[in-house]
Structure 1
């Protein structure tokens, strides 16, 4: 990892603390043996995790449900051998969870490894929920190998977990940072620009295209700084900084507004929290968007 990439810090979901143990996924006997003492993350239809009254992960183990893993998704094992599985709450109707926590809240409240495991589980449960039927023939899909393959019983096609790569970029003209607002965001919320990678495109090409499409600003080059899994519902955010010409931005409908911010304005916004009654509010600290803004500011306003 380069120095630039290493300078990004503070964002969530990048550390699960788990060995994903691919070799165990196809070993049904090994998964059954791990099951009784395995920790379980139970997720509901909204992607929330069952929590204890204090807001931590519900202390649920395989033995509490009995039987074997069944449809549970094998997430991996910790260094001490502790196994983790994820399970759709609909598959465990006897578990009566009174508290449910969304992933953004868990990113703030849970230890980083547990929040990372929750993000991992949420992405997998979402993928399975939308891969019930084969996209080739329409046949029903089952999930062998610990939940990591969707196998069509009719035509034999195998489907694998998918993520959607997207770029997110701090664009600077050397003195100012370009931020945008999307329709529907909370009032005064601003963030760096982002967009999905299209077929036949490199992430670097996506940076140039998205920045120009959304704001009319032309980039002159970009550098990769890091990445963040972003399971809302299934993206992988590829973080960049980019240099650009200092022309006035314009928006085409995808953004509600875009404008350049001085280093002084960014510093004031970084010191401001969401409860402030006035002034721009930036992306939340759990996001790589915030890390990109802070990186630009720390470097003196030059990405």
Structure 2
């Protein structure tokens, strides 16, 4: 029997677009193709329009690991004669250039309920043709191209919003390379988008190869019955494996071993990348939840997790499909011990 692996690509790791890094320094080419480009518009809450009929069709599909709803892009020429200063180039797909442009929040729209993950329904702005969705709760509804576009768009939007001033001298910065760098107007320092690494680890017991039980925890701000795997940021000078061991020890008081890499997913809220691991611990390891960080930690059997995925366990709410935690838990539940 082999150790379990991820059975699907995490929702926000899906992408088809060629980022075309060399084009960011070719303004003539990008400006010349602007009129035929498509633009992903994103409001201050990170929401973008998606076809309403596609959202309904995807939302009605049960058991789908990823959706097929496309983002409703706008024709660039209808928005501006040339790339605006705050537009960011996302890449090329199927002969078309794609950009991101921040816009004001939609107004005078109705609302519609959409599944936001964790069994929560969200009220989102909607017209007759479109629903404005946000990436964190609804990324899994999108098709592969749209998921990649919106993930990159949200990462750049968050970076620019938080990095309006130079970290060295405090002077305002201006955008360069069509959204992929900034240049300080004071000390001329150049900066590029940042990503913070974080580990997320599925801990199982030492029964067989893949364990018979999984360790899940609940944060104090979460409602009862909502659990997920453990996660934390990598500290300066720390290896990924060292971070796995430290975070599990700090959060639930358990020593783990045999940490192994499973996969990754960007998580631009505001600028993380989640690095998925699995690790083992003793079957009877005592749990000591960290005060103020972990409200409760519990062992769950594979049958309990499978029942939760099937909607047949009212005592366990699992992560929504946008999170890599969903894929990790689903893959473990589908494996044999």
1:220-264 Cα deviation digits (max 9, x unpaired): 220001001112222100000001123121111211110111222
Residue 17 (structure 2) aligns with:
18
Residue 38 (structure 1) aligns with:
37
Find the aligned partners of 2:252 and 2:12 in 1 and give their Cα distance: 29
Unaligned runs of 5+ in 1: none
Superposed displacement of residue 149, structure 1: 0.6
Superposed displacement of residue 77, structure 1: 0.3
Alignment of 1:155-234 (within 5 A): 155-174=187-206, 175-234=212-271
Runs (4 or more) in structure 1 with deviation over 3 Å come to: 3-8, 50-56, 90-93
Unaligned runs of 5+ in 2: 56-69, 108-125, 207-211
Checking the alignment, whether the CA contact within 8 Å between 2:138 and 2:322 is kept in structure 1 is: no
Residue 44 of structure 2: SS of its match in structure 1? coil
Residue 256 (structure 1) aligns with:
295
Alignment of 1:71-150 (within 5 A): 71-78=86-93, 80-90=94-104, 99-150=131-182
Find the aligned partners of 2:97 and 2:280 in 1 and give their Cα distance: 45
Superposed displacement of residue 292, structure 1: 1.2
Change over 3 Å in CA distance of 1:116–1:106 after alignment to 2: farther
Checking the alignment, whether the CA contact within 8 Å between 2:254 and 2:281 is kept in structure 1 is: yes
Residue 57 (structure 1) aligns with:
71
Residue 143 of structure 1: SS of its match in structure 2? strand
Change over 3 Å in CA distance of 1:58–1:267 after alignment to 2: closer
Find the aligned partners of 1:75 and 1:92 in 2 and give their Cα distance: 23
Checking the alignment, whether the CA contact within 8 Å between 1:140 and 1:152 is kept in structure 2 is: yes
Checking the alignment, whether the CA contact within 8 Å between 1:166 and 1:238 is kept in structure 2 is: yes
Find the aligned partners of 1:259 and 1:283 in 2 and give their Cα distance: 15
Change over 3 Å in CA distance of 1:149–1:289 after alignment to 2: same
Superposed displacement of residue 29, structure 1: 1.0
Residue 66 (structure 2) aligns with:
none
Find the aligned partners of 1:115 and 1:297 in 2 and give their Cα distance: 25
The aligned length equals 292
Residue 205 of structure 1: SS of its match in structure 2? helix
Residue 309 (structure 2) aligns with:
270
Change over 3 Å in CA distance of 1:4–1:144 after alignment to 2: farther
RMSD: 2.3
Checking the alignment, whether the CA contact within 8 Å between 1:32 and 1:68 is kept in structure 2 is: yes
Checking the alignment, whether the CA contact within 8 Å between 2:219 and 2:294 is kept in structure 1 is: yes
